[in-house]
Amino acid sequence: MFDSLNRRNLLKYGAATGVGAAMAGFWTRPVRAADAALNVFCPLPPDPAPPGAAEFAKEAFAKWQADHAASVTYEKLGWSQLHDRMATAFASGSAPWDIIYNCGWVPEFQSFLAPYADQLPKDVVDDLPPSSFKTVTIDAKRYGAVFTLSLLTLFYNREHLEKVGLKEAPKDWAEFKAYAKELTGGGRYGLVFNYGDPAGIGGTASYWMVFLQQAGGKMYGEDRMPVFNNAAGVDALQMMVDLMAWTDPGSISYANINDATNVLLSGRASMMMNWPFMWNTANDPNQSQIVGKVSSAVLPAGPAGTASIDGTDAWTVAKASKNQDKARELIEFYLSPEVQKRQVLDTGWLPIRLSVLADPEVQAKAPNAAVVLEQAKHPYDSFVTPDYNEVTVAVGTQVQQALQGQKTAAQAMADAHDAVVAIVKRRG
Amino acid sequence: MSYARLQHGGPLRRLIVLIGLVIFVIWSAAPIVWLVLTSVLQQRALIQQPPDLALHSFTLANFTTVLASAALLGHGMVNSLIVASFSTSVALGVGAPAAYALARLPVPRANGIAFLILATQMLPGIAIAIPLFIVISRLGLIDNVLSLGVVYLSFNLPIVIWILRGFFLGIPFGIEKAAAVDGAGIFKTFWYIILPISWPPLCASAVFAFIEAWNEFFFALILTRQHAQTVPLVIAQFAGQYQTVFGQLMAAAAISVAPVIAVAVLFRNQIIRGFADGMMKG
Amino acid sequence: MIWTFEQRRRRAGLLFVAPGLLLLAAILGFPIVDSLLLSLQRVQLTGDQVSHSWVGLANFERLATDAVFWKAAFNTAYFAVMEVLLVSLISLGIALLLRHPMGNSSLFRIMLIVPWAIAPVANAVLWKWILNANYGILNGILVSLGVIDFNHVWLGSPFSALNFLLIVDVWKSVPFVALLMLAGLQRVPQSLYRAAYMDGAGPFQSFMHVTLPSMRGILAIAIILQTIWSLRVFDLVFVLTRGGPADATVLMNFLAYRVTFNFLDLGYGSAIANVIFALTLLIAALYVWLLWPREPGGRR
């Protein structure tokens, strides 16, 4: 009796498993057998996404797939979750993607990536800013290609400046402070930042890196040890601390850049550092109170001139991919002039190709492109390393303490130095 | 003071209860009202201080945009429905007998076993995420709604067992004794006597399991790719790095919470009875 | 006869418990053991794959000197104690209100479920906007009511930020516990109240001597579950503050997340998670010992 019961149960389980398998099949899209299947992991629009994932260059994309006997599937994910899913996949040694969006994480995941960018055609490479390869090059091998020129520049409310008799954007630190002071008052602040999140590209540590380079400093020496605990590092931080007097006090609580952007868009702050994409948002009447009033300029120069950081949105190819050549070809397609042009015209993300940036139609649609190009002539290092996240949390936390007046700038820099030394040594 | 008076209280106690209820309504409903309001306002109006609540600021654009990507949201809701129903029914089906045994049957070390079951809840999900991912990807079950449902049992089953066990402990022994005298076996007693009078706590734990599975985010993030994506992931997609369209996010949240509320309203008699009448009357 | 009856009951009991235990073991067995082992390893993503090396208790030794960990531990202790206290008291209050004839309407109960049913991701973003220092509605309302005369940065200073996280989490946690307590309240036999009334007990005495003792089991479950949950708060920190300003709102589970998924220091992250595990286990054991009714199965 027990035997028959067991057998019946077994049959039941068998049926259940079958149903499970059928369900799994139901959710999987069929792929044509002859095609090379490419799996692309990317963020969702409005963050920078490729054709087919975002709404642009759709016909060209369909044509590319047909011509190259490839079918591309996108795995799209909200930006803030990208790193978690990548980390899980890589840490368990199985990542299913051929092409992977990366943002400052190339050194971290380097051992899982292929240095495919060394094989990109010369005419493509020559049309890209050489410095755009900085964050994706490790030991002279290029693991990625940045596909959008995304540097921090200054955005300001022209109307506010004009009201207090200021005609142009601030050019140097002294003017920056004077402007911020002048523009503060009547429920409005000269500046707004997002200092809530210590880490990552665009967090508190990133802003400090901008000022650091403007002060003539850098993060690491040749021996890969930190070299910022000096006059440049302290001056950079002191500048941020000084600006706090005319910065929206909420800045310390804004964990994401769009929390700060909204303040500028509401007209209750006059200036902020932001990414090129901001241009479209600021001129969208559904989101902005300051349509047509925004201008953009190169960041105010410090003692060593102007400087910025790089958003480093890049395409990389997985080492484990079975279709590395096809993957590279797809990236070449993403970087082709026609796709790059549609990218900026339809989504607002600037191209990376210099020829497209110089295109009059592009410059008319994105008047800030010229500013970003000008900014790109100056340093814009994001100092990415394999432990970028850990380092920026450590530095950003110290910067936050200085901004809140819990520490002097000098003390914060000394502590940040010790923390980063410990991190670099632990990595070994 | 009559006994009825004791239950209802005098004018002072009625006043206190009234004030309490008003505070309770504001406390629970105000953020929800704001959620609904923001889902029909333009972002431009929301970033004003105070928010611009003039008629021209109202828009259904958030809903139309979200519904335009309805395939995505709809797909996510279907997935969530499958995951939540599966996880809830298995958690109750397996959990109710286990809870009954741990409460009423002479299982050796019942308290120890119950504590062990609870202990599985004490290791943060973050710690087990990567090993779990390794197991599931070896089995080839990443991005599968049912495997997600099974993973959700890891937190639903223990909680269901604990809630139900608490209730089963309160059942007077007389009921089972009477059943035994009438010649009913243990299975029959459980099925025909215990379960029917436990409808309220069963409903309560079903509501718990369903909501937790419907809303779970972290495991869903790690164990799915595109096809098995559940509702919370779809909602999170409206929060980008460079831009969060708050109204759309709230519209998506409002749509996604609707089925749960609908179920609550539909089954309110069961749930109300569940929470109101209780299982035992003195 | 009686012996075989007991034997049958025992066998049925095992049969009832086994599927649940097996299922849990199948799902969680490997992950739990592996997480424990990971905490004794150093894991690096180098070369072609992930390299593991045994380091004994080094990860735990590192914890002892990690200032951020201790900060997280103190934050968590404050957070968990306050959360359990507030959630229990508010929930009990709401349960009492909803049991009163005036609050006994289905509308109130559905209203109670709603905050809990909203997806935590959306809930966290909703509160982030409500609490925004510049355009948040909380500042808007308080300023227009004249309660405050300028916008406050609710998430700006360490203590305030931690407390607002606490309030939002309490708001989110109360519904379930309140429902549980309401269910427990309804179970208290009316005859006990009647008897207490006969003995001349007022409302307060009957609450203290009838209501509370009868709810002991439910209260124990509610407090134990709430303790477990409050020690693993994560998503609110992630969305609202990212642990800032200056690590003021880093809770232990958020730290475990940050170390594991942002720093990819899997061994150290597991060590933190296992400390959470051990602490929770100790506290829960203490609660069970203190609160759980002494005679399981006995009528309370």
Q: How far apart, in whole angstroms, are the C-alpha atoms of residue A305 and residue A292? A: 29
Question: In terms of C-beta density within 10 A (0-12 exposed, 13-18 middle, 19 or more buried), how is residue C235 classed?
Answer: buried
- Write out chain A residues lying below 8 Å of B47, CB-based: 262-263, 265-266, 289
pLDDT score of C291: 77
Q: How close, in Å, is residue A75 to chain B by CA atoms?
A: 6
Q: What is the ipTM of this complex?
A: 0.86
CATH number for the domain running over A153-310+382-427 = 3.40.190.10
- Write out chain A residues lying below 8 Å of B44, CB-based: 265, 285-289
CATH of the domain at C256: 1.10.3720.10
Most confident of A41-45, A51-55, A191-195: A191-195
pLDDT score of A12: 44
pLDDT score of B261: 82
- Write out chain A residues lying below 8 Å of C258, CB-based: 393
Which chain C residues touch A if contact means CB-CB below 8 Å?
A: 43, 45-50, 128, 132-135, 151, 153-157, 161, 239-247, 258, 260-266
Q: Is the pLDDT of residue C260 over 70?
A: yes
pLDDT digits (tens, 9 = 90+) for A59-73: 999 999 999 999 999
Q: How close, in Å, is residue A13 to chain C by CA atoms?
A: 14
Q: Which among A27, A39, A77 has a CA at the least distance from the CA of B221?
A: A77
- Number of domains making up chain C: 1
**The token pair that represents A23 in the structure block:** 């369900």
- Domain extent, residue C213, equals 35-291
Cβ contact, residue pair C266, A108, below 8 Å: no
- Domain extent, residue B211, equals 62-276
Cβ contact, residue pair B257, C277, below 8 Å: no
Strands A141-142 and A70-77: unpaired
Q: Which among A188, A226, A247, A227 has a CA at the least distance from the CA of A403?
A: A247
- Write out chain B residues lying below 8 Å of C100, CB-based: 8-9, 17
Q: Which residues 43-82 of chain C have a CB within 8 Å of chain B?
A: none
Q: What is the mean pLDDT of residues C265-290?
A: 91
pLDDT score of B70: 59
**Chains contacting B with at least 3 CB pairs below 8 Å?**
A, C
Alpha helices in C131-157 (DSSP H): 137-144
- Write out chain C residues lying below 8 Å of A196, CB-based: 155, 241-242, 244-245
Rounded mean pLDDT of chain C?
A: 87
A268 touches chain C (CB under 8 A): yes
CATH 3.40.190.10 for domain A36-146+311-372, yes or no, is: yes
Cβ contact, residue pair C183, B281, below 8 Å: no
Q: Is the pLDDT of residue C200 over 70?
A: yes
User: Following DSSP, what letter does each residue of A153-215 receive, concatenated?
Assistant: EEEEEHHHHHHTT--S---BHHHHHHHHHHH--SS-EEE----S--SSTTSHHHHHHHHHHHT
Q: Is C299 helix (H, G, I), strand (E, B) or coil?
A: coil
B47 touches chain A (CB under 8 A): yes
> Using CB atoms, which residue from B43, B47, B242 is nearest to A46?
B242
Find the residue in C nearest to B255 (Cα): C118
Lowest mean pLDDT among C32-36, C177-181, C228-232: C177-181
User: Where does the pLDDT of residue C44 fall: very low under 50, low under 70, confident under 90, or very high at 90 and above?
Assistant: confident
pLDDT digits (tens, 9 = 90+) for A371-417: 999 999 999 999 999 889 999 999 999 999 999 999 999 999 999 99
Q: How close, in Å, is residue A266 to chain B by CA atoms?
A: 6
* CA terminus-to-terminus distance, chain C: 30
Q: Which of C113, C218, C235, C275 is the best substitution to test chain B (most B C-beta atoms within 10 A)?
A: C113
**What's the length of chain C?**
300
pLDDT score of A24: 44
Cβ contact, residue pair B130, A285, below 8 Å: no
Q: Is A76 helix (H, G, I), strand (E, B) or coil?
A: strand
Q: How close, in Å, is residue B48 to chain A by CA atoms?
A: 6
> Using CB atoms, which residue from B47, B236, B245 is nearest to A78?
B236
Lowest mean pLDDT among B167-176, C174-183, C257-266: B167-176
Residues 6+ apart with CB under 8 A from A220: A226, A227, A383, A385
pLDDT score of C294: 59
Find the residue in B nearest to A45 (Cα): B240
Cβ contact, residue pair B240, A88, below 8 Å: no
CA angle A357, B242, C162 (to 5 degrees): 155
Q: How many CB atoms lie within 10 A of CB C62?
A: 16
Q: How far apart, in whole angstroms, are the C-alpha atoms of residue C150 and residue C156? A: 14
Cβ contact, residue pair B42, A286, below 8 Å: yes
Cβ contact, residue pair A281, B243, below 8 Å: yes
> Using CB atoms, which residue from B43, B221, B238 is nearest to A85?
B221
DSSP A298: P
Cβ contact, residue pair A47, B241, below 8 Å: yes
Q: Is the pLDDT of residue A23 over 50?
A: no
> Using CB atoms, which residue from B42, B129, B144 is nearest to A24?
B144
Q: Is the pLDDT of residue A221 over 50?
A: yes
- Write out chain A residues lying below 8 Å of C156, CB-based: 249-250, 252-253
pLDDT score of C295: 53
pLDDT score of C298: 40
Q: Is the pLDDT of residue A17 over 60?
A: no
Task: Point out the residues of chain B with pLDDT beneath 50.
Answer: 1, 274-282
Rounded mean pLDDT of chain A?
A: 89
Q: Is the pLDDT of residue A30 over 60?
A: no
On the CB side of A365, CA atoms within 13 Å amount to: 19
Cβ contact, residue pair B231, C176, below 8 Å: no
Q: Is the pLDDT of residue C1 over 60?
A: no
Residues 6+ apart with CB under 8 A from A82: A41, A43, A101, A103
> Using CB atoms, which residue from C155, C239, C264 is nearest to A253?
C155
> Using CB atoms, which residue from C31, C120, C137 is nearest to B51?
C137
Q: How far apart, in whole angstroms, are the C-alpha atoms of residue A96 and residue A74? A: 12
- Across the B/C interface, how many CB contacts are shorter than 8 Å? 329
Domain assignment present for residue C263? The answer is yes
B11 touches chain C (CB under 8 A): no
**B234-251 core/surface letters (b: 16 or more CB in 10 A; e: else):** bbbbbbbbbbbbbbbbbb
> Using CB atoms, which residue from A44, A88, A94 is nearest to B240?
A44
Q: How close, in Å, is residue A89 to chain B by CA atoms?
A: 8
Q: What is the mean pLDDT of residues A256-280?
A: 93
Q: What is the mean pLDDT of residues C10-28?
A: 93
Q: Which residues 34-63 of chain A have a CB within 8 Å of chain B?
A: 43-44, 46-47
pLDDT score of C3: 58
B104 touches chain C (CB under 8 A): yes
- Across the A/B interface, how many CB contacts are shorter than 8 Å? 105
C256 touches chain B (CB under 8 A): yes
- Number of domains making up chain B: 1
Q: Which residues 85-114 of chain B have a CB within 8 Å of chain A?
A: none
Q: Is A36 helix (H, G, I), strand (E, B) or coil?
A: strand
- Write out chain B residues lying below 8 Å of A52, CB-based: none
Q: Which of A106, A244, A253, A427 is the best substitution to test chain C (most C C-beta atoms within 10 A)?
A: A253
Domain assignment present for residue B4? The answer is no
pLDDT score of B270: 64
Find the residue in C nearest to B112 (Cα): C285
C200 touches chain B (CB under 8 A): no
Domain assignment present for residue C266? The answer is yes
Find the residue in A nearest to C66 (Cα): A419
**The token pair that represents C78 in the structure block:** 């404050």
DSSP A226: B
Q: Is the pLDDT of residue A9 over 60?
A: no
Cβ contact, residue pair C115, B31, below 8 Å: yes
Residue B50 backbone dihedrals phi, psi, to 5 degrees: -75, 160
Domain assignment present for residue B141? The answer is yes
**Chains contacting C with at least 3 CB pairs below 8 Å?**
A, B
A287 touches chain C (CB under 8 A): no
C217 touches chain B (CB under 8 A): yes
Q: Which among C213, C212, C191, C210 has a CA at the least distance from the CA of C201?
A: C210
Q: Which among A191, A224, A187, A222 has a CA at the least distance from the CA of A207?
A: A191
Percent of chain C with pLDDT over 90: 47
Q: Which helix (H) or strand (E) element contains residue B31?
A: helix B11-39
Q: Which among B92, B118, B115, B127 has a CA at the least distance from the CA of B213?
A: B92
pLDDT score of B249: 85
- Write out chain B residues lying below 8 Å of C186, CB-based: 275-278
Q: How close, in Å, is residue B2 to chain A by CA atoms?
A: 56
pLDDT score of C252: 94
Q: How far apart, in whole angstroms, are the C-alpha atoms of residue A29 and residue B227? A: 9
| Phi-psi category of residue A224: left, alpha or beta, with phi > 0 → left and psi -120 to 50 → alpha | left
Q: What is the mean pLDDT of residues C130-144?
A: 91
